[in-house]
Amino acid sequence: MPDTLTKCPTGIHGLDTITGGGLPSGRPTLICGSSGCGKTLFGMEFLIRGIQQYNENGIFVSFEERPRDLAENVASLGYDLPGMIADKKLIIDQISIDRSEITETGEFDLEGLFIRLAFAIEAVGAKRVVLDTIETLFAALTNAHVIRSELRRLFFWLKEKGVTAIVTGERGSGTLTRNGLEEYVSDCVILLDMRVTEQVATRRLRVVKYRGTAHGTNEYPFLIDEQGITVLPITGINLSYPVSRELVSTGIDKLDRMLCGTGYYRGSSLLVSGTAGTGKTSIAAHFVDAACRRGEPCIYFAFEESPDQISRNMQSIGIDLASWAEKGLLHFAAFRPTSFGLETHLSTMLKLVEQIKPLIVVLDPVSSFMAAGTEIDARAMLMRLIDFLKLQRTTALMTTLTSAGHAAEQSEVGISSLIDTWVMLHNLEQAGERTRTLSIVKSRGMSHSNQARELLLTANGIKLVDVFVGPNGGILTGSARIAQEAADRATLVALNQDVARKQAALQRKRNAVLARIAEMQSELTVETEEVELAIAQQNSAASILVTDRTAQAQERENTGDQR
C-alpha cells in the first residue's frame, strides 16, 4: 500500500498554504535563486520555526557564512540562535574549504562530510537539515565528477536518515542552479526571484516542482521583514468567507437612508470615488467617526496626508478624529506608497490589521498605489487586501481619485468588481460655480436610492440635500438650487395667497346668503304676523256681524207687534 506523502510544515507565513502543508517530509527540497533573494534566511527560518513551533531540532550547514555572522543576521529578526545552540536544539556547522590550501591527488570521496552531518544529526536528534550553499563544493574542488556522484549519494543518504532537508543553490543562466542540482533533488524545487519593476523591487517565490502533490503554481510575492519571510498567496484564499447581515450606520444620516435606511453591511467593501476635492476624505472621516462612536477600533491608512493634517482638516467639518486617536480607537498609519514595494505595504497593512483587529479599515486613497507599481500589481494587491479583510469581517472603505475628464466608471473598472458598495462623488460645474454631488453607483444586497444628492460640507459635517431637476433635465445644485428653491417658495406664497382670496370670497358669499336668509325670515315673520292680525280682525268682525244680526232681528220682532 503506497504511503501518502507526508508534509513537513515550514511555519513560514503563506508557504504552507501554497504547498498544501509544507515541504515533503523526510526528503530534500531545493531552494534556488540568485544572490540576495533570501535563500539563507529561508533555510534559517525553516529551522528556527521547526524548533520553536514544531519541536523539531535542526542543523544548519553553512558553506559560505560564518556561524557568528548568521546569528547576527537573524538576531535582527528577533531570533536567538546562540540560545538555541546552547539548548542543544540547533547546530550551526560551517564548512569552509579554502581552495588555495588544497591539492587534489588521486581518488577521494566526501565521506568526511557525511560523517560530520551524521555526527551533528545525532548530537541534537535533528529532523531538519539545511545545506547552504552546497554548490560551493564545485568551486572548492576540481573533480566535479566525484562531487556529482557524491551529492547524489548525499541526497539518498539524507532521505534514508529521514530528515527534511533544504538545499540551496545559486541560480544559473538558463538553468535553475549553476551546477544542475535540480537533477539530484527531484522531489520539491522552489525558486526565489527578485525583480525590479519601475524601480520597485519585489521578491517572488514559485514552486517549480513538487512531486506527488498539488501545489500553487503561480509566482507568489514574498517579503522579508522584521518577522521573517511572509509569502502572500494571491489565489490562496477561496471565495467562501462568511458574511454579516448586520447593518451599520455610515455616520451620515441621509446616506444611510439612501442605502437601505440603516447603512452598510458590516464587513463589506466600500469605494468612494471622485475627482479632487469632492469630499472623499470627509466621507471616510464620517465612517470612522461613526465607528468610533460605536466603540469599534479603526485603522486609517493615509497615503497622501499626514494624520495631523487629516485631523485638522476634519475638525473644520466638526469631526474630531484626534480625540478618537487619543482614546486608542483610531489608529493612523500614514506612509507614501512609493516608499516601498507594494508587497511590503500589503504585508505592513495585514500585520497591523492582525494586530489591532479593527472593524473598519480606511484606505485613503488606493489610487496612489497605482503610482507605486504597475496597475496590474496594484490591483492584485488590493484584491488580496480586500479578500483578507473580508475574511476578517472587517469593513474596508477605500477612496479613489478619479482624474477629471475620464469616465469614472471606466477608470475604476479594475477594482469595482471587488466592491460591494460604490459611492460616487461628482464635481458639477455650472453657472460659474462648483458643487459636489453624491450618488450610489451600486450597493450589493440592498435596494438603494438611485437619486443624486448634493453634498454640502458644513461645520457640523456632511449634509446631503435633495437636488432639483432643472427645466432641461439637468440637476440644479448650489446657488442654482437656492434660486430654484426661492422661486418655488415664491410660487408657493402666490398659491397660498390665491387660496386665501378664494376662501375670503366664499366667506363673503356665505355671509351674504346668510344675511338674505335672515332678511327673508324676518319678512316672513312680519308677513305672518300681519296675516294672523288680519285673520283675527276678520274673525272679530264676523262675530260682531252675527251679534248685530241677532240684535236687529230681535229689534224687528219687537217693533212689528206694536203696529
Partner 1 sequence: MSDTASSMGWELRLYVAGQSPKSAAAILNLKKLCETHLAGNYRIEVIDLLESPRLSVDDQIVAVPTLVRKLPTPMRKVIGDLSDSERTLVGLQLRQTPKDTTLS
Nearer to partner 1, 154 or 200 (CB): 154
Contact call for residue 107 and partner 1 (CB under 8 A): yes
Contact call for residue 101 and partner 1 (CB under 8 A): yes
Distance of CA 181 to the CA centre of its chain: 44
Taking the complex as a whole, the smallest distance from the CB of residue 171 to partner 1 amounts, in Å, to: 24
Taking the complex as a whole, the smallest distance from the CB of residue 67 to partner 1 amounts, in Å, to: 12
Nearer to partner 1, 93 or 225 (CB): 93
Phi, then psi, of 250 in degrees rounded to 5: -80, -15
Nearer to partner 1, 157 or 335 (CB): 157
Contact call for residue 283 and partner 1 (CB under 8 A): no
Nearer to partner 1, 108 or 336 (CB): 108
Conformational region of residue 401, where left means phi above 0, alpha means psi within -120 to 50, and beta covers everything else: beta
Taking the complex as a whole, the smallest distance from the CB of residue 181 to partner 1 amounts, in Å, to: 17
Integer Cα distance of 529 and 516 in angstroms? 20
Phi, then psi, of 22 in degrees rounded to 5: 135, -160
Among 32, 51, 81, 113, binds partner 1 (CB under 8 A): 113
Burial of 470 (C-beta count, 10 Å sphere; 0-12/13-18/19+):
middle
In this structure, what C-alpha cell is assigned to residue 64?
A: 559560505
Among 104, 433, 530, 532, binds partner 1 (CB under 8 A): 104
User: Stretches 106-114, 460-468, 541-549, 553-561: which one binds partner 1 (CB under 8 A)?
Assistant: 106-114
Site string for partner 1, 55-94 (x = CB under 8 A): --------------------------------------x-
Among 119, 355, 413, 516, binds partner 1 (CB under 8 A): 119
Nearer to partner 1, 95 or 243 (CB): 95
Integer Cα distance of 395 and 267 in angstroms? 4
Nearer to partner 1, 118 or 492 (CB): 118
User: Stretches 22-30, 108-116, 318-326, 405-413: which one binds partner 1 (CB under 8 A)?
Assistant: 108-116
Amino acid at position 22, single letter: G
The alpha carbon torsion through 448, 454, 459, 461 (nearest 10 deg) reads 10
Are the C-beta atoms of residues 344 and 309 closer than 8 Å to each other?
A: no
User: Stretches 97-105, 232-240, 353-361, 549-557: which one binds partner 1 (CB under 8 A)?
Assistant: 97-105
DSSP H or E run through 389: helix 375-391
Taking the complex as a whole, the smallest distance from the CB of residue 130 to partner 1 amounts, in Å, to: 17
Integer Cα distance of 559 and 563 in angstroms? 7
For 160, other C-beta atoms within 10 Å of its C-beta total: 9
Nearer to partner 1, 144 or 551 (CB): 144
The three-state DSSP-derived secondary structure of 41-53 is HHHHHHHHHHHHH
Contact call for residue 116 and partner 1 (CB under 8 A): yes
Q: Give ∠ CA 552-557-559 in degrees, rounded to 5.
A: 95
Nearer to partner 1, 147 or 272 (CB): 147
Q: Are strands 200-210 and 188-197 parallel, antiparallel or unpaired?
A: antiparallel
Integer Cα distance of 262 and 448 in angstroms? 11
Taking the complex as a whole, the smallest distance from the CB of residue 127 to partner 1 amounts, in Å, to: 20
Contact call for residue 139 and partner 1 (CB under 8 A): no
The alpha carbon torsion through 258, 261, 267, 273 (nearest 10 deg) reads 10
Integer Cα distance of 125 and 395 in angstroms? 48
- Give the total of residues touching partner 1 (CB under 8 A): 23
Taking the complex as a whole, the smallest distance from the CB of residue 27 to partner 1 amounts, in Å, to: 23
Contact call for residue 145 and partner 1 (CB under 8 A): no
User: Stretches 104-112, 260-268, 324-332, 475-483: which one binds partner 1 (CB under 8 A)?
Assistant: 104-112
User: Stretches 76-84, 107-115, 448-456, 522-530: which one binds partner 1 (CB under 8 A)?
Assistant: 107-115
Are the C-beta atoms of residues 122 and 53 closer than 8 Å to each other?
A: no
Nearer to partner 1, 100 or 460 (CB): 100
Taking the complex as a whole, the smallest distance from the CB of residue 42 to partner 1 amounts, in Å, to: 24
Strand order in the sheet with 58-62: 90-94, 58-62, 128-132, 164-170, 28-33, 188-197, 200-210, 219-225, 228-231
Are the C-beta atoms of residues 298 and 288 closer than 8 Å to each other?
A: yes
Taking the complex as a whole, the smallest distance from the CB of residue 52 to partner 1 amounts, in Å, to: 26
Phi, then psi, of 391 in degrees rounded to 5: -60, -35
Contact call for residue 110 and partner 1 (CB under 8 A): yes
Taking the complex as a whole, the smallest distance from the CB of residue 108 to partner 1 amounts, in Å, to: 4
What residue spans of 392-424 are helical by DSSP H?
Answer: 408-411, 413-416
Taking the complex as a whole, the smallest distance from the CB of residue 145 to partner 1 amounts, in Å, to: 13
Contact call for residue 105 and partner 1 (CB under 8 A): yes
Among 5, 95, 237, 441, binds partner 1 (CB under 8 A): 95
User: Stretches 96-104, 182-190, 402-410, 514-522: which one binds partner 1 (CB under 8 A)?
Assistant: 96-104
Distance of CA 302 to the CA centre of its chain: 14
Nearer to partner 1, 117 or 189 (CB): 117
Contact call for residue 137 and partner 1 (CB under 8 A): yes
- The CA–CA distances, whole Å, from 218 to 131, 207, 221, 354 equal 26, 8, 10, 25
Is the dihedral angle over the CA atoms 64, 67, 68, 72 positive or is it negative? positive
The label of the residue with cell 458590516 reads 266
Contact residues for partner 1, defined by CB under 8 A: 93, 95-97, 101-113, 115-116, 118-119, 137, 141
